[in-house]
Structure 1
Amino acid sequence: MTTKELKAEIRKMCEEKDAIILAHYYTIGDIQDIADFVGDSLALARKAAETDAKVMVMCGVHFMAETCKLLSPDKIVLCPDLAAGCSLADSCKAEDLKKFKDEHPGYQVISYVNTTAAVKALTDVVVTSGNAKKVVDQLPKDAKLIFGPDYNLGNYINEVTGRKMLLWNGGCHVHERFSVSKILELKKQYPDAVVMAHLECKAPVLAVAEVKGSTATMLNYAQQSDKKQFIVATEAGILHEMQRTCPDKEFIPVPPEISESGLECSCNECNYMKLNTLEKVYNCLKTMSPQIEVDPEIAKEAVKPINRMLELS
């Protein structure tokens, strides 16, 4: 089938099976084009909680599909490729977090949404990059807090809230590699461009950014700003939606850094997100697999901090 035919067949099956396609901004453009809803982690979680569809196809990574299942346990949740993991989620194992909690009695755990259901089950409240400050600001000032697994996001929230949360030393393999020198080089080429950076980036990168926030924050800023050029330090998939909604503006991705071997690395793209393809979406709808399931005992605890997040944000 041609790409056009494949897209038409996918949409036809969605109608026949009462299915919706949810896609993260970091997936490829073709996936975003056929999705019923495209958003960041917070927006996708909200959509998963409120949809009436019988089937959800989560085009993102595995923890996002798990979150959909936790919020809508009676729905069928499909994940086009189970290998679509997350380096950030992998950096915090449930058994390691449990041990850390045991070593710090009296502490509440704030977990970034980029975590497994098992980690969420050990968590008091979940946050996203879009609502982390808002949620933390609502917790008691004297609360003892552990924040994980993203060190960079936690460090930023400590800075802007004055908290002294204990930070887990995890990170995203994409955002960890953005280079200040590359951004400054681009700024010389595009002196009028606004530098935007995701909160998963390291502190020096955030220090040179004029706009700091989630993918949704950056997208909204670009849509509302009268500026015409933007240097973007986050996963390059967001540029598809930026360009679609702002066709008269220019978006410049921060390029890959040079590795120790002298070769460029694709540090501005998430290889996990790019595992989502039209063919895999078609196949998962056709076969209704692979389906996401979460252990009932884990699910019972893991949904609580997600619901608390939705209440606080």
Structure 2
Amino acid sequence: MNKNEIRKKILELKEQRDAIIVAHNYQIDEVQEISDVIGDSLTLSKYCAESTKKVIVFCGVHFMAESAKILSPEKTVLLPEIDAGCPMADMVTVEELRKAKKKHPEAVVVCYINSSAEVKAESDICCTSSNAIQVVKSIKEKDILFVPDQHLASYVAKMVPEKNIIPWPGYCITHHRLTLEDVRKVRELHKDAELLIHPESPKEVVDKADFVGSTKQIIEYASKSKSKKFVIGTEMGIMYKLKKDNPDKTFYLLSQGLICPNMKKNTLMSVYNALNEMKYEINIDENIRVKAKEALDRMHNIQL
């Protein structure tokens, strides 16, 4: 089958299965094109929970599909590529987190959504890059054990100095590659461009940004800004929506290394296979799911 035939089959199967297709902003263009909604982790988790469809095809990585299943246990959640994982999420385990909690008994555990269901279940509240500052500000305790992203933790510590942020030593392997040299080079090449950076990036890079935000916030900022040129410091998949929403503006990547290999695993064919064969279904132990949902619910409940 060619791409047009695959797209047609996907749309037919979607109706037959009573399914929705959701895609993270980092997915390849052709997957974003056939999705019902494109967004960041927070947007997609809310959309899946509110949908009345029976089947969710989650074009993202494993922890995202897990989050959809945590919030919608009655629905069938499919991850087209079962080995699409997240190295950052793998940098914290339940056993390690329990040891850290014993070391910091007074600390509230704030868990970035980029984590496993088991780690969420061991945490007090979840956050995303969109709402991490808001979540931390909502906590009355001073000590915050922030897992697993050290760079997002650093950014939150800067923005909420009244809290004592205890960072976990994890990081996103894609954003972690960004350097001050990348910033220096791009500033020389595009002096009139605004620099928009994801907070998963190293502190020294984040400190040089004109704007810091999640994928959704970067997209919204670029659309509202009067500037016509932007340098984007996050995974290259975001360029699809930025260019689609702003055809009159120019976008450059801060580094050619901004590619997440796991996010790029989903293809049109894997989406077709997921719907055709109803694979790969995400299932979570009910005790873990209930505890993880409590942490996610606490996050959703503080949204303004």
Question: TM-score, with normalisation over the residues of structure 1?
Answer: 0.95
1:152 aligns with 2:151: yes
Query: In the alignment, is the contact (CA less than 8 A) between 1:183 and 1:231 conserved in 2?
Result: no
Matches within 5 A, 1:1-313: 1-140=1-140, 142-162=141-161, 163-256=163-256, 267-313=257-303
**What SS does the aligned partner of 2:109 have?**
strand
For 2:24 and 2:210, the matched residues in 1 are separated by 24
**What SS does the aligned partner of 2:85 have?**
coil
How much does 1:201 deviate? 0.3
Query: In the alignment, is the contact (CA less than 8 A) between 1:111 and 1:126 conserved in 2?
Result: yes
1:46-82 per-position Cα deviation (integer Å, ceiling 9, x unaligned):
1111110000000000000000000000000000011
How much does 1:143 deviate? 3.3
Query: In the alignment, is the contact (CA less than 8 A) between 1:147 and 1:165 conserved in 2?
Result: yes
1:285-311 per-position Cα deviation (integer Å, ceiling 9, x unaligned):
001011000011111111100011001
For 2:18 and 2:218, the matched residues in 1 are separated by 32
How much does 1:109 deviate? 0.4
How much does 1:33 deviate? 0.3
For 1:25 and 1:59, the matched residues in 2 are separated by 10
How much does 1:11 deviate? 1.1
How much does 1:106 deviate? 2.5
Which of 5-14 and 124-133 deviates more? 5-14
Aligned length: 302
For 1:297 and 1:145, the matched residues in 2 are separated by 25
Query: In the alignment, is the contact (CA less than 8 A) between 2:179 and 2:202 conserved in 1?
Result: no
How much does 1:37 deviate? 0.6
Distance 1:57 1:186, change over 3 A: same
Query: In the alignment, is the contact (CA less than 8 A) between 1:197 and 1:206 conserved in 2?
Result: yes
| Alignment-mate amino acid for residue 273 of structure 1 | M
For 1:167 and 1:208, the matched residues in 2 are separated by 21
| Alignment-mate amino acid for residue 39 of structure 2 | G
| Alignment-mate amino acid for residue 3 of structure 2 | T
Query: In the alignment, is the contact (CA less than 8 A) between 1:110 and 1:126 conserved in 2?
Result: yes
For 1:7 and 1:226, the matched residues in 2 are separated by 36
Gapped runs of 5+ residues in structure 1?
Answer: 257-266
1:247-276 per-position Cα deviation (integer Å, ceiling 9, x unaligned):
1111100223xxxxxxxxxx3100000011
Question: TM-score, with normalisation over the residues of structure 2?
Answer: 0.98
How much does 1:104 deviate? 1.9
How much does 1:4 deviate? 1.3
For 1:52 and 1:137, the matched residues in 2 are separated by 33
- The sequence identity of aligned pairs, in percent, is 38
**What SS does the aligned partner of 2:264 have?**
helix
**What SS does the aligned partner of 1:269 have?**
coil
4+ residue runs of structure 1 moved beyond 4 angstroms? none
RMSD between aligned residues: 0.9
For 2:119 and 2:244, the matched residues in 1 are separated by 36
Query: In the alignment, is the contact (CA less than 8 A) between 2:142 and 2:164 conserved in 1?
Result: no
1:111-160 per-position Cα deviation (integer Å, ceiling 9, x unaligned):
000000000000110000000111111111x4322111000101110111
**What SS does the aligned partner of 2:192 have?**
coil
